[in-house]
Amino acid sequence: MRLDSERLEAALKKELQPLYILLGEEPLLAFEAQDLINRSARERGYTTREVLTVESGFDWNELTLAANSSSLFGDKKILELRIPTGKPGVEGARRLEALAQRLPDDAVTVVSLPGLYSQKSVWFGALESAGVLVHAAPVGRAQLVPWLTGRLRRQQQEAAPETLEFIADRVEGNLLAAFQEVQKLAWLFPAGPLPDEGVRNAVMDVARYDVFNLSIGLLKRDLVLYARTLRGLRSEGEALPLVLWAVTEELRVLARLVEARDKGQALASTLRDARVRGPRGPLLEGIVPRCSGALLASALVAAAQVDRQVKGLEPGDPWDGLLELGLNFLRGVRMPAPARQNRGQTPAIYNGGLTPITSHL
């Protein structure tokens, strides 16, 4: 059984399962999910709690001992196993498979993992078959307004669409800050509709402009995300060499993947060789078929020009150069294959790589 973390509370009210596998891509939601499970277990008489963290040198006998040991007083317990790397190793994989086959009768077990990349492992499949998979997924910009609406509803407040968009713009990329701002509104205003002007004055601009969001913007073919992040990094005074490195490194990875594709190599094996893990893998799989070697060579030449601007060896604003680089690259990626031209017709010119504009002679 699989659950989004936002649906966990309703599921726990119905019943408490003996095993939960918590995928904590979003730290705030993962923390809330663990807290919900612990609270639900305590309400059902699980009075003790034992936490094991898998670090270097971890003795897996501790897990076996914790799972098999019973309290002298018959107390039921919450057993938390945290694997921050998501990699239990050979011995850990064996112990986890054994745990899935024989769950302790007097415990609720929660196995915490950092993300989704372990799903193909045998031990992961064994755990999922025996328990409930809870995914604490990141909340993107498209989901942020509904998320804010739900959180405000919990404290019996509501806001107009334009007010919600304003909050979302200020807290984008920082869910913990979004959570804190929503809580602050509960202290400042009574239940019911929130005043737009009052919210605007209260909500701080706490958006976190992560340099790696530039890479995500390129891979998702999202010019708005790329441009907004670039503007935010510039306003926050982020070091230009770091920003340029993040963009250039992504272009180099894409270039290697496209070169391998053109040689007939399987994309899956090339991604493994490039050590691409986590959410970048599916994004790269989606964009590689739409890239050409010439497009990436042109983008890398543009990156080299920006580098010279950063070093003062060439005139021009490097921030503008980075914006132009992203725009030209995404135009090239989005451009569909040119249609066959009719006689007397000029080649199609693409506006932003989306809408063909054709003129006749």
User: What's the CATH code of the domain at 171?
Assistant: 1.10.8.60
Instruction: Answer yes or no: is 353 within a domain.
Output: no
Average pLDDT over residues 134-142: 90
Instruction: Answer yes or no: is 351 within a domain.
Output: no
Please check whether residues 130 and 30 belong to one and the same domain: yes
Last residue of a domain, one of 136, 165, 194: 136
Please check whether residues 192 and 74 belong to one and the same domain: no
**Residue 145 contacts by C-beta under 8 Å, 6 or more apart in sequence?**
161, 164, 165, 168
Q: What is the pTM of this model?
A: 0.63
Taken as a whole, the chain contains a residue count of 361
- Tens of pLDDT, residue by residue over 331-342, are 888 544 444 444
At residue 347 the predicted structure's pLDDT band, cuts being 50, 70 and 90, is: very low
Please check whether residues 164 and 217 belong to one and the same domain: no
Please give the Cα distance from 313 to 334 (Å, whole number). Answer: 32
Please check whether residues 152 and 261 belong to one and the same domain: no
Last residue of a domain, one of 118, 136, 154: 136
- Tens of pLDDT, residue by residue over 15-59, are 999 999 999 888 899 999 999 999 999 999 998 999 999 988 899
At residue 225 the predicted structure's pLDDT band, cuts being 50, 70 and 90, is: confident
Average pLDDT over residues 266-273: 78
Average pLDDT over residues 155-176: 90
How many domains, the chain?
3
Dig out the tokens for 220 from the structure: 């998702």
Please check whether residues 149 and 226 belong to one and the same domain: no
Please check whether residues 291 and 228 belong to one and the same domain: yes
Residue 115, pLDDT above cutoff 80: no
Last residue of a domain, one of 136, 170, 190: 136
Please check whether residues 243 and 220 belong to one and the same domain: yes
Please check whether residues 128 and 159 belong to one and the same domain: no
Instruction: Answer yes or no: is 54 within a domain.
Output: yes
User: For residue 80, what is the domain's CATH number?
Assistant: 3.40.50.300
Instruction: Answer yes or no: is 208 within a domain.
Output: no
b/e map of 251-289 (b: 16 or more CB within 10 Å)? Answer: bebbbebbebbeeeeebeebbeebebeeebbebbeebbe
User: For residue 270, what is the domain's CATH number?
Assistant: 1.20.272.10
Domain span at residue 183?
141-202
Instruction: Answer yes or no: is 68 within a domain.
Output: yes
Please check whether residues 18 and 106 belong to one and the same domain: yes
Instruction: Answer yes or no: is 348 within a domain.
Output: no
Average pLDDT over residues 347-351: 32
